[in-house]
Amino acid sequence: MNYGTLSQFNNLDIGAGDMKKLKGISHGNGYYGTSLSSLFIHNFYHGIGFFRRRGPRRALLENTIRARNSKSEKTALIVGSGPSLDLLDPLVAKEAFDDIFAVNSYYKYEHSKYLVPDFYTLSDPNFFLESNKVKFHENSELYKYLEEFNPTLIIPHLNRNQIPNLPNQVLFFDDRELPRFFKGGISPLKPRGYVSLTLYKALAMAVHLGYKEIYLIGMDNSEFKSYRANHENLVSRKSSEYFPKSLYWDDMPEFSNPEKLPGGMAGQLQVMALFFGDLYIFPTARIFNLDENSLVDAFKKVRNHPAIKTHPEV
């Protein structure tokens, strides 16, 4: 989430302590609690970030517009990267669903060899890092995977100039996030009203395409279970306490880089509340969660689906 800049306050008579507090509140992780003034500051800077971004031109969204409700007689499976992905039998899933949606690092998982996606959503900034010579990851495993299997790409309009040089069809979406004091929806043709999570963007596109039933696996929102803090209150995440061994890839780091969270764990759990709460703006009647023990409670859960292994691997 982009909350703009505090540079316009540099010339005001604000003490160093007040400035530090202001920056902390305005941060995406900033904790506002029950304070109306802090909530206003938090949303004000979110609003600055929103209005500084240009929306997409209609021509860029033309494919997305034409694709609306084109899948009304089909079913979709959206595959996230949470630990419940280990429950999925990729060979059965291949036959059980008409279309498969994958996101971000899916190509690194063993499942990707057997369950090839029809749609691949890329939204994490790490996939669009730009250098003087290379845009995107033209020499990476991801590029080769997309080239081999040719899924339709789902890409933010903000990265329209950084897509891979491939013949894949592309569906662009408006990736501006509305400030919380506006009521936003889930249409990929308009600014979104939910948090900037790639899996949610894939879900929004599936809804736009009109699938009669949409199934989810790997949408866990449980990463907080793996948080660790050191003596300096720097927070990191421990992979081995989040992912089962069967989901490890070769270069998966054991720990994420320790970082200082301006809002601390209070701010982080506040963000997590948005992760869960924002799912209620999706059409819950036709979205189903294949993980019957998931903490995500916005969607109906399916018990004993044939694509879910009875005894997941340890």
Per-residue pLDDT, 7: 34
Residues 155 and 289 in one domain: yes
Neighbouring C-alpha atoms within 13 Å toward the C-beta of 218: 28
Residues 30 and 106 in one domain: no
Q: 168 Cβ partners below 8 Å, 6+ apart?
A: 146, 150, 151, 152, 153
Residues 37 and 175 in one domain: no
Sign of the dihedral defined by the CA atoms of residues 289, 290, 292, 295, in that order: negative
Is 275 strand, coil or helix?
A: helix
Asked, for residue 285, whether it belongs to a domain, the answer is yes
Is 76 strand, coil or helix?
A: strand
| Residue numbers in the chain where pLDDT is lower than 50 | 1-16, 19, 312, 314
- What are the pLDDT digits (tens) for 43-95? 787 778 788 888 999 999 999 999 999 999 999 999 999 999 999 999 999 99
pTM for this predicted structure: 0.87
Per-residue pLDDT, 14: 38
Residues 276 and 182 in one domain: yes
Residues 68 and 29 in one domain: no
Asked, for residue 314, whether it belongs to a domain, the answer is no
Q: Domain with 178 in it: what CATH number?
A: 3.90.1480
Structure tokens at 156: 């933010």
Residues 91 and 175 in one domain: yes
Angstrom distance (rounded) from CA 33 to CA 31: 6
Asked, for residue 2, whether it belongs to a domain, the answer is no
Asked, for residue 243, whether it belongs to a domain, the answer is no
Residues 45 and 69 in one domain: no
The parent domain of residue 36 ranges over 7-51
Asked, for residue 231, whether it belongs to a domain, the answer is no
Count of domains for the chain = 2
Angstrom distance (rounded) from CA 201 to CA 188: 8
Residues 185 and 266 in one domain: yes
Q: Which of 13, 93, 107, 68 is nearest to 290 (CA)?
A: 93
- What are the pLDDT digits (tens) for 4-42? 333 333 333 434 455 455 566 666 778 888 888 888 888
Residues 22 and 140 in one domain: no
Residues 136 and 16 in one domain: no
Asked, for residue 196, whether it belongs to a domain, the answer is yes
Sign of the dihedral defined by the CA atoms of residues 192, 196, 200, 202, in that order: positive
Per-residue pLDDT, 10: 37
Neighbouring C-alpha atoms within 13 Å toward the C-beta of 49: 22
